[in-house]
Amino acid sequence: MHWDVLRGSFLAVVLLLGAGCGQADRFAEGWDQGGTLHEATMRDWAFAVDTNRLASSADFVRERIPDVPEEALPIISALVEKCLSDMSLRFAVDYVKAHEKLDYCFDYTERMLGRLEQEYANQARATE
């Protein structure tokens, strides 16, 4: 994966969080701790609370990208959580584990970050 998109994308993080990526306190202190869905089925993921899905996603991100910048962790985790949650609502089954869908969700996250970065660049050029 090309995580170069993360370099200098702090503003994209701010834009996404400011655009209402979830509840206002979604990233309150400790948001990335206590996830218990590492072996959850897609059905379990679908019925889990948002805070548990987000914290578990943060764990997945840290596992896959050990050197992830702390300022990028919220946006990457939120995108991975969104992808898994969207999939779990369509395929809430007990025979597929959520972590089995991480390759797809990390590809999705990389595409979304690329789009955010491009959108930010377009807006910056338009205001010059």
User: How many Å is the Cα radius of gyration of the chain?
Assistant: 15
CB of 116 closer than 8 Å to CB of 16: yes
| Residues 27-41 pLDDT 10s | 888 999 999 999 999
| CA-based nearest residue to 36, from 22, 47, 27 | 47
In the structure encoding, which two tokens stand for residue 69, read together?
């910048």
* Whole-structure pTM value: 0.79
> If the chain, 128 residues long, is cut into consecutive pieces of 10 residues, what is the mean pLDDT of each piece?
46 43 72 97 96 98 95 96 95 93 96 91 86
